[in-house]
Amino acid sequence: MDESTAESIANALAAVQAAVASNPEAAIPKSYSLGFDAQPEFPEQKLQLQDLHDANAENLEANITAQPEFQIVPQADSQAQPTVAAAIESNTNNGVGIKRSRPEDEEEDEQDGWQKVERKKSKKKQKKLPKSDGSHYPSISFNYNAKLQAKVSLDQLRNLILYIFAEGTAPQWVSISNRPQFRKIVTLMVPGLEEAMFKMDVDFSTYQNEPRSSEKSRVMTSPDDYYPRLLKKEELPEVLQPFAEMFPHLWPIKTPGNEKFGNLRSPLHTMLTAPQEKSAEEKNKKGQGVQPAREPSGWKDQRTRITEYLMNPEDFVPNGYTLHPALIDNADRRAEFRDEEGWVHTNVQNLSDGDVPESEIQQGAITAGREVLALDCEMCMTGPAEFSLTRVSLLSWDGTVILDELVKPDKPIVDYVTQFSGITKQMLDPVTTTLKDIQARLIDLLHPRTILVGHSLDSDLKALRLTHPFIVDTALLYPHNRGPPLKNSLKFLSQRFLKREIQKGSQGHSPIEDAKACLDLVKQKCEKGKSWGAHEQQGENLFRRLTRMGTSYRANGGIEALGGAVLGKSSVMVDWGDPMKGAGAAATWRVGCQNDDEVVQGVLRATKGDPVAEEIPYGGADFVFARFRELEALQGWWNRNRISPESEVPGPPDVSDLTGSNGTASAVSPLEACLQRLTARLKYIHESLPPCTALIIFSGSGDPREMSRLQAQQAQFKREYNTPGSKWDELSVKWTDAEDQALKKAVGMARNGIAFIGVK
């Protein structure tokens, strides 16, 4: 710095010090800087700094800033003039300056005389995509250190999506690198795709003719082979070789089900239902008994009439109920109906007799004009595996006890089971009321507009030897998490949903207490809606969970998401028919299709967005779920029982339309032609996906046809066997131990699905 500049700086500082000395009551600030856009004036000696303007301004500002810090503030007296009436701006790094108010800001000037000015910070651009061959590119690969004890389940596959885009524990069966770099996840369900199709020597012309019961023909891996199979192009059939270009492994996947009870959970529902989140309080109370039910996030009550929960006629026999004659469809059989010996039925001729005109229903009444009675019975043993009625209780809707009677069985009691029934010999010795007396009283009390409420009422009605067509069973209203035939106990339901302890101690159950619990459970169900306590309430829709808890990072959410932020993830459901009819209703956008070609276009639209953002914005959605169904139809896996004339879901396409031969002879089989088109569609989608996109393809299940056939046979057998007046040796179908074992095996086959996981 030359001498003239140094001298100018010294003069400026001397002038400031003189100004401060003339007003010693002024506070001393920490910093200031001089600018030359305005010429500051001191009231006492109008110091002009114009001669400094010609000097080196940059050096001047730099050196002034380096000097000891000063502060110039207005006096406490608002009427007094400030010591320095110049515009002084801070040149500090925080971007905040102090300047003198403009003359026109007199109102602000009278308040404090100074104002802070925030300098706009330039926004940083979103982070660029990492290079595909770089160390920051996202990946999903098999964890070779994993010790798999079972096949990867469909639930684990769904939880992989939740871990990448929302929350959850990191999966142990795969290694996920650079999770924040994932931009999208595309999940495609392809029913009909089987592991055995990926054998080198597979003959597609005879593939569908192989016996359904032959497990070896459909499943390549042994039950103990839980690890993924490495895909090699030269070891695959020609039509499926592109899979080796898109994915490194074929994963065996286990669909939820139960061979013991012969059932299979819906793969689509399993994939699109996220497990219910546990609160911090619930996690801390783990192992401390039944936790009370809580409303899921965003829950809204939907008041529902009790008539919506009445058992359907077709549900009576499968759940162990004896049919009332009003439930028999055939008029001739109904006319010939006779009660079994000792049984009676209520005076209901037709189901329509219970209907109540809307004009007679009080507005908002959940009983819908019906009389609701809660029933519970206690039984004692009168022989090996034989129970007889010893007490019956009947409560009205408001909890009033209408009937509470002890009953003397016709046979001598061999075990009072007091710890459960609460009945003792001393209680029954003076009783003279018989079962026929109770039946007569109930026939008078139960009319066509009466609804009976209870828990597993089939056992109570069998003890009463009575039938009634209008039943609400709490064991069915609140189904078991693992599905039928498992049922929740009334004690568990009371603890979870009513926060009430019943059936305590060793004195036995109280039928009045149990009937009251059933009433309260039904009332709660009516107030909250059909989803309360049902399977849907045990989990949360996957689309809704991603919208609510979807986590973004700086790579895909900008600077605001640095370190991870819950910003929500958009989603699209692409499916045949109207996706609004199912789980897709919770997706951000929905795309309905009529064939697999439209599904391909829907997936591309969902990932890229509409051309001018008519509905789906540019850039597309974060999560896309789609289902291909032509292979499912060709394989015969399509569930035709769910197709109805009023349904908007289209039926399966004509198999002849899937061969692509247009009625002429083809060199390839229909199955091979269908697989060829499917592979081409999947490859086209894979090539069109943007970088950093996870792609998951899964079949959902194995071949369900044999399982479905045996389940239908079992249902037919139960229906005929439980029909009053039927003879077991005259049934159209039989169900023996051989059929039971065949069903278990068929369920095991149906549970074997496959999946492919990769990153574009």
pLDDT averaged over consecutive 10-residue blocks of the chain (760 residues)? 69 70 52 42 42 44 43 43 42 44 48 56 57 84 81 92 86 89 94 91 82 52 74 92 94 91 89 76 60 79 94 87 88 83 92 92 92 94 89 95 93 88 89 94 95 95 95 93 82 92 79 94 94 71 87 62 70 92 89 94 94 87 95 84 46 57 64 94 95 94 92 85 71 89 92 93
CATH class of the domain at 306-528: alpha beta
pLDDT confidence of residue 59: 46
* Nearest partner of 295 among 537, 518, 545, judged by Cα: 537
| DSSP for residue 579 | G
Residue 354, classed as helix, strand or coil, is helix
Token digits for 662? Answer: 């247009």
Cis peptide before 325 (omega within 30 of 0): no
Beta bridge partners of 139: 177
What beta strand segments (E) does 278-363 contain? 344-345
Q: Where are the domains of the chain?
A: 150-213+221-275+539-550+566-759, 306-528
pLDDT confidence of residue 374: 96
Residues 518-551: b if buried by 16+ CB within 10 A, e if exposed: bbbbbbbbbebbebbbeebbbbbbbbbbbbbbbb
pLDDT confidence of residue 86: 43
Residue 495, classed as helix, strand or coil, is helix
Query: In 618-736, where does DSSP find H-type helix?
Result: 630-635, 670-688, 705-721
Report the alpha-carbon distance of residue 672 to residue 681 in Å, rounded. 14
How many Cα atoms sit within 13 Å of 218 on the Cβ side?
26
Domain spanning 150-213+221-275+539-550+566-759, CATH architecture = 3-Layer(aba) Sandwich (3.40)
Beta bridge partners of 450: 371
| DSSP for residue 25 | T
DSSP assignment of 296-312? PTT-------GGGGSPP
For residues 110 and 186, the answer to whether their CB atoms sit within 8 Å is no
For residues 45 and 18, the answer to whether their CB atoms sit within 8 Å is yes
φ, ψ at 471 (rounded to 5°): -125, 140
For residues 694 and 140, the answer to whether their CB atoms sit within 8 Å is yes
CB atoms within 10 A of CB 669: 16
Token digits for 41? Answer: 């004036």
* Nearest partner of 369 among 498, 470, 454, judged by Cα: 470
Token digits for 455? Answer: 């828990």
Residue partners of 721: CB distance under 8 A and separation at least 6: 728, 731
For residues 353 and 448, the answer to whether their CB atoms sit within 8 Å is yes
Report the alpha-carbon distance of residue 164 to residue 159 in Å, rounded. 9
pLDDT confidence of residue 284: 57
